[in-house]
Amino acid sequence: MTRIDDTFARLKAEGKKAFVAYVMAGDPDYETSLAIVKALPGAGVDIIELGMPFTDPMADGPTIQLAGQRALEGGQTLDKTLQIARELRKDDQRTPIVMMGYYNPIYSRGVDRFLAQAKEAGIDGLIVVDLPPEEDDELCIPAQAAGLNFIRLATPTTDDKRLPKVLQNTSGFVYYVSITGITGAAEAQAAEVGPEVARIKSQTDLPVIVGFGIKTPEAAQSIAGIADGCVVGSAIVAEIAAGKPVEAVARFVKGLADGAHRA
């Protein structure tokens, strides 16, 4: 059982849906980013997705792309991203941390070395968007062996033929991408997402969390109501990009979390 498994078991017992928040590590700078991450659990965040800045983020829309650029320009590195997790773990042993990003920085570090460092830092899961199931031997299988959940994305174009392959070695939860396209591009609609979530849940016992296109507490409540929870990224990153102080970002996140928890 990982922290992710424990979190979903606890939420289920409480009759609550999960609220997952994404932030880019190192945006707008290391210290501010660390303060925001430390504020997330108190704002009602059940799982933290920590973005690994990368120079070629092909699945990300402009908001997340620019966050990654700001982080890299500010000197953010993979080591500093792991350090953010370590700092959170000094005060918080319960909130799961999922590192989300692309394979290149992990490959450059070396898979075995990266996994050992991630585990030591208190990371609980990985979302690596450019590694398909056909490449599971690269990272997915070693990650599971190291005790990390490997979370896979399903999309509107994941048909019934492809879905079993996507679910094959997934653990922790399934991340359903509610729209076709990049992050932050459109608004998720519960009426369209609901049947897709039901289709995925018919083939797995894992929780299904919906992300992309959720920007308001009302949308968080609506989407969480038809899934096991929701993820918000671009809307939170936009608040950070606007230069809002940490307390204001935390208030914004709390509104979204409260919406999801009302579902």
The H or E element that residue 128 is part of is strand 125-128
**Is 5 among the residues known to form the active site?**
no
**Is 49 among the residues known to form the active site?**
yes
Q: What is the pLDDT of residue 146?
A: 97
Asked if 207 and 173 touch (Cβ cutoff 8 Å), the reply is yes
Whole-number average pLDDT of the chain: 95
DSSP string, 226-258: TSSEEEE-HHHHHHHHTT--HHHHHHHHHHHHH
Q: Give the tens place of pLDDT for each residue, 111-151.
A: 999 999 999 999 999 999 999 999 999 999 999 999 999 99
Question: For the chain, how many structural domains are there in total?
Answer: 1
Which CATH number characterizes residue 55's domain?
A: 3.20.20.70
Catalytic one among 27, 60, 124, 136?
60
pLDDT-derived band at 178 (thresholds 50, 70, 90) equals: confident
Mean pLDDT, residues 55-82: 94
**Would you call 225 exposed, middle or buried from its count of C-beta atoms within 10 A (0-12, 13-18, 19+)?**
middle
Token couple for 232: 């918000």
Q: What is the pLDDT of residue 192?
A: 87
pLDDT exceeds cutoff 90 at 57: no
- Domain span holding position 180: 3-262
Catalytic one among 5, 27, 46, 49?
49
3-state helix, strand, coil in the chain (%, to 5): 50, 15, 40
Return the CA Rg of the chain: 17
pLDDT-derived band at 43 (thresholds 50, 70, 90) equals: very high
Q: Give the tens place of pLDDT for each residue, 189-227.
A: 778 899 999 999 999 999 999 998 899 999 999 999 999
Mean pLDDT, residues 67-85: 97
